[in-house]
Amino acid sequence: MPTSAAPIPNRSAEDIIALRRQHLNPSLSMSYRQPLKMVRGAGAYLYDQDGHAYLDMVNNVCHVGHCHPTVVAAGQAQMAQLNTNTRYLHDNIVEYAQRLSATFPAELSVVFLTNSGTEANDLALRIAKTYTQANDVIVVDHAYHGNSPTMIELSPYKFDGKGGRGRPPHIQVAEIPDDYRGRFRKEDPKAGVHYADDLHCAIAAIRARGEKPAAFYCESVLGCGGQVVLPAGYLQAAYAHAHAAGAVCIADEVQVGFGRAGDYFWAFEAQGVIPDIVTMGKPIGNGHPMGAVVTRPEIAQAFMTGMEYFNTFAGNPVSCAIGLAVLDVIQQEGLQAHAKQVGDFLLHGLNEMKKNHALIGDVRGTGLFIGVELVRDHASLEPATAEANAVIEFLKAHRILLSTDGPHDNVLKLKPPMVFSMNNAQEFLMRLDQALSQIS
Amino acid sequence: MPTSAAPIPNRSAEDIIALRRQHLNPSLSMSYRQPLKMVRGAGAYLYDQDGHAYLDMVNNVCHVGHCHPTVVAAGQAQMAQLNTNTRYLHDNIVEYAQRLSATFPAELSVVFLTNSGTEANDLALRIAKTYTQANDVIVVDHAYHGNSPTMIELSPYKFDGKGGRGRPPHIQVAEIPDDYRGRFRKEDPKAGVHYADDLHCAIAAIRARGEKPAAFYCESVLGCGGQVVLPAGYLQAAYAHAHAAGAVCIADEVQVGFGRAGDYFWAFEAQGVIPDIVTMGKPIGNGHPMGAVVTRPEIAQAFMTGMEYFNTFAGNPVSCAIGLAVLDVIQQEGLQAHAKQVGDFLLHGLNEMKKNHALIGDVRGTGLFIGVELVRDHASLEPATAEANAVIEFLKAHRILLSTDGPHDNVLKLKPPMVFSMNNAQEFLMRLDQALSQIS
């Protein structure tokens, strides 16, 4: 009995918005005052229902480019062949575990697969707690580690944000090592070490509770914190403090991993450390729901308490085929080196622009993960939040998609698909220059 | 620059096992003493590397049949077109939300999308806690609701199982309403009501803590509990008690939803109740990582605290295209009625077999979700765990895949893809008869 999927109506933006209001999660916000209806993606571009091309500078999920043909073909072929769970033997999962672990220092050789970055951070916590037999966790201020109940408890971005219930007692928040806005600035060569000293307070607070720290979570470049590059020496010193207190160190590479940082495949490498656990998500499957955890064999072994970690979907042959294709494309197209080249060009152009536009307070980043912080005053650092939003709307009118982040929502966050080209970068710099001229 | 995915080596079972040991989650167990390497799936069959066909009676994830062409085609087409997040407008997500909510009673009209059943149950808890402003939860003994830290705290199957840390103080466990093995048996027409009375104890324990119940979670047919069909009246009475105490009632349909129960599209309907929240996973995307939560508008509105629920992958156009195709196939192929027909045939055949095989203690189920409990003695109900395992290995030798479940691991669990045919059912009954004859 042949069947075929029923055609999906082509609705107007207004009708879609009305149906969202009626049938979808009402807490889900849309991008832009006038949301866009996108119907197609290719490379660094999204196309709306009228065929207009938008340059996508905000999507670090479609990592190797929207609908990359190699990734699409790998997913299509495996979907038609087999999609089942990991209780059977399959080539794809072991090939993927081997290939993924080969991108890490040799110590990090054991892979756990999940369906999202949230599930990866959740699993990392279970592993850390089991290994350390401890309960408390140290996180960095303004961090976001996921949308599950456990990760919201761990994310100052959420628990201190709108609707948040504040810091839970088993979580300690370390000062954000922001060397533009924080206590220690760029001109201090020891800023990283000074910021890391704040972990002593967190550890002392945990001990005062009669508890021990299980883990120190830190994104390798801070995302929701405002695209903040960690000052030199921060992770080395912070990891030393955490390890001395018995905690494991977890690098959250959900936003910045897989070559985006340019100089390194994993952004933690720039800090000269080897984490105990690394978590991955967003770019890992170019949009396909996937996540992963990698850790040391001795930590993985300690997790063998008799309680299995089985995940119905994770590690299935389709997800692994897609994950493998993403790794292939990054390598074959030299996307890490490309991110370095285009990222350096953007950083240079933005720093030049800073000389002419007082709104630009700070330019920072690594590879294709860049933040441009807008301020009204270079002494007080008063956030130029409305101006940042005006930039976003100006760029939208010129069909460039960008968004803001940071505690004051005044940081332009650049994290385009990795195929973002030098021409794309030039176009963006020209339009940003226009936007800043018009707004200031 | 054209790229192509690197070929994936075709490894022997031994090599795959060795690589799993080296690079994969060591807590992940494999099916069977001699694990199978599966390379292809179609309909109700999996095929090993030598081309042998195995009848799959254990996979309720590949719901409309392995690699169903309609579902595969929908996923393939959308993958090549666009896969991005829900901050843009798209037809697929509103079509899916509308179509999915149309399968529920009118009260349940608001859909939240996730990447897994675990994420769905995690989100349901956040919603329930926000709506009720309460913290404690009542669950049914032996229940499994997911692999996240929060869901392990909520799952007696996990926290009372190997490596478990026992019941957390904010969780109360209600007696399992098992009318074969429990306090109240099938001959008691009020068994359901009596079992539901145990919620009074749970509620009293929560009040004694000075807390209130946020939610009562219950699978609509109990899975890890041993494929237990809820006695008539159980959910009506249990929901009444939970509601009176201020809790919301959450139906976990991750295992049994989407027509599998035969008589109804959602298994809770057999109990004459309307839950406040329903969670879905496994079959929703025929193996694609997806999950969903549906709830009442007033509960969804109460979740609007300012804290957004945004999920990077969930609700993307590919997942929604696949989810829509699954709904289309269930409807077009009449799979719910088919599950009823084949399920009734199996139940009848199994009940006949029970007359000749003393090992069969109980036959129960609904549609294509059936449990056959094996016991050594019909009075003491001593579990025939080793015998159940011998049945599984006998069937494997005859290329039928089945597994066991329940607190004593003595329940054969039948939950094949919904395209499982009458011929398949006849073959299974014949082989099971042989297995029981040989073992007893």
Supply the DSSP string of B37-106, one letter for each residue: BEEEEEBTEEEETT--EEEE-S-SSSTT-BT-HHHHHHHHHHHHH----TTSB-HHHHHHHHHHHTTS-T
Pick B332's closest partner by Cβ from A3, A303, A308: A3
- Give Rg (Cα) of chain A: 22
Alpha carbons A212 and A233: distance in angstroms, whole number = 24
A75 and A197 part of one domain:
yes
- Beta carbons of A84 and B46 less than 8 Å apart: yes
Residue B409, C-beta contacts closer than 8 angstroms, at least 6 positions apart: B383, B385, B388, B389
Q: What is the pLDDT of residues A208-255, one digit of tens each?
A: 999 999 999 999 999 999 999 999 999 999 999 999 999 999 999 999
CATH (domain of B245): 3.40.640.10
A282 and A420 part of one domain:
no
| Angle at B388 (CA atoms; ends B384, B389), nearest 5 degrees | 120
B250 and B260 part of one domain:
yes
pLDDT value at position A241? 98
B95 and B84 part of one domain:
yes
Q: Give Cα A141 distance to the centre of its chain.
A: 16
Alpha carbons B21 and B16: distance in angstroms, whole number = 9
Counting other chains too, the contacts that A375-381 makes at CB distance below 8 Å and 24 or more residues apart are A375/A410, A381/A180, A381/A181
**Residue B381, burial from CB neighbour count under 10 angstroms (0-12, 13-18, 19+):** middle
Query: Domain boundary residue among B284, B312, B332?
Result: B332
Pick B23's closest partner by Cβ from A13, A111, A287: A111
Tell whether A2 is covered by a domain. Answer: no
Contacts of B26 in chain A (CB under 8 A): 110, 300-301, 303-304
Tell whether B7 is covered by a domain. Answer: no
Contacts of B113 in chain A (CB under 8 A): 25
pLDDT value at position B5? 87
A95 and A61 part of one domain:
no
pLDDT value at position A43? 98
- Beta carbons of A83 and B29 less than 8 Å apart: no
- Beta carbons of A89 and B40 less than 8 Å apart: no
Break chain A down into helix, strand, coil percent, rounded to 5: 40, 20, 40
Alpha carbons B134 and B208: distance in angstroms, whole number = 14
B208 and B265 part of one domain:
yes
Structural domains in chain B (count):
2
B199 and B272 part of one domain:
yes
Alpha carbons A363 and A356: distance in angstroms, whole number = 13
Inter-chain contacts counted by CB atoms under 8 A, chains A and B: 388
A215 and A349 part of one domain:
no
3-state SS assignment for residue A86: coil
Tell whether A112 is covered by a domain. Answer: yes
Q: In this predicted complex, what is the ipTM?
A: 0.97
Phi/psi class of residue B406: alpha, beta or left (left: φ > 0; alpha: ψ in -120 to 50)? left
Disruptive mutation site among B4, B46, B83, B402 for chain A (greatest number of A CBs within 10 Å): B83
Disruptive mutation site among A123, A133, A147 for chain B (greatest number of B CBs within 10 Å): A147
Query: Domain boundary residue among A332, A364, A383?
Result: A332
Tell whether A224 is covered by a domain. Answer: yes
Contacts of A321 in chain B (CB under 8 A): 5, 8
Q: Are strands A277-280 and A248-252 parallel, antiparallel or unpaired?
A: parallel
A64 and A77 part of one domain:
no
Contacts of B321 in chain A (CB under 8 A): 5, 8
Residue B413 carries which side chain, given as an amino acid letter?
Answer: K
- Beta carbons of A5 and B59 less than 8 Å apart: no
Pick B309's closest partner by Cβ from A25, A61, A310: A25
Number of Cα atoms under 13 Å in the Cβ half of residue B69? 5
Pick B67's closest partner by Cβ from A1, A82, A110: A82
Tell whether A3 is covered by a domain. Answer: no
Contacts of B12 in chain A (CB under 8 A): none
Instruction: Chain B: give the shortest CA distance to residue A251, in Å.
Output: 18
Pick B81's closest partner by Cβ from A10, A67, A319: A67
Nearest to A120 by CA among A361, A6, A285, A360: A285
Tokens representing B389 are 């395992």
Q: Identify the closest residue of chain B to A100 by CA–CA distance.
A: B23
Instruction: Let me know: does B405 contact B227? Beta carbons within 8 Å.
Output: yes
- Beta carbons of B88 and A46 less than 8 Å apart: yes
Q: Identify the closest residue of chain B to A29 by CA–CA distance.
A: B87
- Beta carbons of B36 and A88 less than 8 Å apart: yes
Along chain B (440 residues), what's the average pLDDT of each consecutive run of 10 residues?
Answer: 82 96 92 93 98 96 98 98 95 98 98 98 98 98 98 98 96 98 97 98 98 98 97 98 98 98 98 98 98 98 94 97 98 98 98 98 98 98 98 98 97 98 98 96
Tell whether B4 is covered by a domain. Answer: no
- Beta carbons of B88 and A313 less than 8 Å apart: no
- Beta carbons of A74 and B23 less than 8 Å apart: no
pLDDT value at position A31? 87
- Beta carbons of B23 and A98 less than 8 Å apart: yes
Tell whether B90 is covered by a domain. Answer: yes
B359 and B325 part of one domain:
no
Residues of chain A with pLDDT under 50: none
Residue owning tokens 């999996």 = B46
Query: Domain boundary residue among A311, A332, A353?
Result: A332
Alpha carbons A432 and B88: distance in angstroms, whole number = 23
A247 and A193 part of one domain:
yes
Tell whether B1 is covered by a domain. Answer: no
Alpha carbons B334 and A3: distance in angstroms, whole number = 11
Instruction: Chain A: give the shortest CA distance to residue B177, in Å.
Output: 25
Pick A19's closest partner by Cβ from B11, B97, B311: B97
A246 and A273 part of one domain:
yes
Tokens representing B201 are 């104890």
Alpha carbons A168 and A164: distance in angstroms, whole number = 11
CATH (domain of A419): 3.90.1150.10
Instruction: Let me know: does A124 contact A112? Beta carbons within 8 Å.
Output: no
Residue B243, C-beta contacts closer than 8 angstroms, at least 6 positions apart: B249
- Beta carbons of B37 and A152 less than 8 Å apart: no
Give the residue numbers spanning the domain of B203.
70-332
Contacts of A41 in chain B (CB under 8 A): 81-84
Q: Rounded to 5 degrees, what are φ and ψ at B109? A: -120, -5
Residue B69, C-beta contacts closer than 8 angstroms, at least 6 positions apart: none
- Beta carbons of A66 and B83 less than 8 Å apart: yes
Residue B225 carries which side chain, given as an amino acid letter?
Answer: G
